[in-house]
Amino acid sequence: MTETLASPDAGTDSPRMLYLNRRDIAAVGGADPELYVTALRAALVAHAAGRTVQPLKPYLRANGKQGHIADRIIAMPAYVGDPGISGLKWIGSKHDNPTARGLERASAVIVLNDPETNYPIALLEGSLISAWRTAAVTCLAAEYFARPGFTDLALIGCGVIGSTQLRALTRWFPNITTAHLFDTDPDAAHALADRIGVERPGIEVTVTGSAEDAVRAGEVVLPCTLADAPYIPFSWLSPGTFLANVSIMDVHKDVFLNADKVVVDDWEQSNREKKIINQLVLDGTFSREQLHAELGEVLAGTRPGREDDEEIILLNPMGMAVEDIACAAEVHRRAREKEIGTWLDLY
């Protein structure tokens, strides 16, 4: 797979890789759930069956424990089989990029490597892929865990991740009629409400006065905030709720302890870094045995999804390199097919 042909521009004999910026990625379907849901369905099943390789991701925090929880760079490597490809997402975050610099909080590049030579074969802008793969995980999970025909979404936190979740879910589930939005910055909630009003005129969007009002109204609940301490107790959740805990720190311990089913993407990745599951395990109140499943087991049919309309189901999706690399590989495959992107010489 490694490109060893001379670059059309430089005319030199050099290995080369394909660079795909955000516009290139969008041009091959990278701003739509279909590409991601398709790639993830296969990758998550492969992961649950042990057919992927995914080392634990290191967090680089230049300011150590003093820094904000969202100030970090994370290295996320994985090998995803069938057809095999290796890669790394290198994703940086500064919590005040939006407010202090007018930038998106997260930025990323993804490198794909040819498994035969381990040479880099592609470099992709990574934060678009990261946001859409996160939303597609929720779409896939909602197929199995949301009440069939659900109509009401609650979104807490209306930044890049929240807005991508809302756009993906409303495309994937035509049954959604209403979105309840809350953000500690009301301008962010109103801006997203206006945008959805234009993009999805059939959907009723309300901005609520509190997180509690939004959560109580939602059948599918999506926290996408920068919270570093929990604020959603079990008592806010109605029977039948599916809560996808995208931003990980928003949900109180009692939700993990009282939900009918707790599902994670990967147990090892979830049980670390003092996240809520890790705190519960250290407290001795939660364990792998109490977990209902890893998401891929449910997609593979080896564990059940929702079993009745009353169940309250919690998904704790830490986010996995396997997801990024599987999605980036599909973007790369489609870009090669359509001859989109810019070739870069390595030498």
- Cα separation, 255 vs 251, whole angstroms: 7
Residues in contact with ligand NAD, counted by CB under 6 A, come to a total of 27
Tell the residue number behind the tokens 């424990």, with chain if given.
Answer: 65
Q: Which CB, 54 or 130, lies closer to ligand NAD?
A: 130
Rounded least distance, CB 226 to ligand NAD, Å:
4
The stretch among 16-24, 46-54, 157-165, 276-284 that binds ligand NAD (CB under 6 A) is 157-165
Task: Examine the residue annotation and report whether 89 is marked as an active-site residue of this protein.
Answer: yes
Q: Which of 89, 253, 261, 275 is catalytic?
A: 89
Q: Binding of ligand NAD at residue 159 (CB under 6 A)?
A: yes
Q: Which stretch binds ligand NAD (CB under 6 A): 256-264, 270-278, 314-322, 338-346?
A: 314-322
- CB closer to ligand NAD out of 13 and 228: 228
Between 226 and 293, whose beta carbon lies closer to ligand NAD?
226
By the rule CB under 6 A, 105 interacts with ligand NAD = yes
- Which is closer to ligand NAD, CB of 169 or CB of 224? 224
User: Is 157 a residue that touches ligand NAD (CB under 6 A)?
Assistant: yes
Nearer to ligand NAD, 150 or 182 (CB): 182
Other C-beta atoms lying within 10 Å of the C-beta of residue 286:
20
- Exposed (0-12), middle (13-18) or buried (19+): which is 123, by Cβ within 10 Å? buried
User: Residue 62's Cα: distance from chain center in Å?
Assistant: 24
Does residue 324 interact with ligand NAD by CB under 6 A? no
Taking the least distance from each CB to ligand NAD, the nearer of 251 and 293 is 251
Binding status of residue 77 toward ligand NAD by CB under 6 A: no
> In whole angstroms, how far apart are CA 88 and each of 50, 334, 347?
19, 19, 21
Residue 246 in the binding site for ligand NAD (CB under 6 A): yes
| Near ligand NAD by CB under 6 A: residue from 80, 156, 181, 321 | 156
> Is 192 a binder of ligand NAD (CB under 6 A)?
no
Only segment of 47-55, 179-187, 274-282, 290-298 that touches ligand NAD (CB under 6 A)? 179-187
- Interaction mask 197-216, ligand NAD, x per CB under 6 A: --------------x-----
Q: Which is nearer to ligand NAD, 111 or 320 (CB)?
A: 320
When asked if residue 98 is in the footprint of ligand NAD (CB under 6 A), the reply is yes
Q: What is the 3-state secondary structure (H, E, C) of the chain?
A: CCECCCCCCCCCCCCEEEEECHHHHHHCCCCCHHHHHHHHHHHHHHHHCCCEECCCCCEECCCHHHCCCCCEEEEEEEEECCCCEEEEEEEEECCCHHHHHCCCCEEEEEEEECCCCCCEEEEEECHHHHHHHHHHHHHHHHHHHCCCCCCEEEEECCCHHHHHHHHHHHHHCCCCCEEEEECCCHHHHHHHHHHHHHHCCCCEEEECCCHHHHHHHCCEEEECCCCCCCCECHHHCCCCCEEECCCCCCECHHHHHHCCEEEECCHHHHCCCCCHHHHHHHHCCCCHHHCCEEHHHHHHCCCCCCCCCCCCEEEECCCCHHHHHHHHHHHHHHHHHHCCCEEEECC
136 near ligand NAD (CB under 6 A): no
Stretch that binds ligand NAD, among 32-40, 270-278, 294-302, 316-324 (CB under 6 A): 316-324
- Is 160 an interacting residue with respect to ligand NAD (CB under 6 A)? yes
Task: Name the minimum Å distance from CB 318 to ligand NAD.
Answer: 6
CB 122 within 8 A of CB 112: yes
Say whether residue 78 binds ligand NAD (CB under 6 A). Answer: no
Tokens (6 digits) for 274:
């003092």
The residues binding ligand NAD (CB under 6 A) are 70, 98, 105-106, 130, 134, 156-162, 183-185, 188, 211, 224-227, 246-247, 317-319
Active centre residues (catalytic): 89
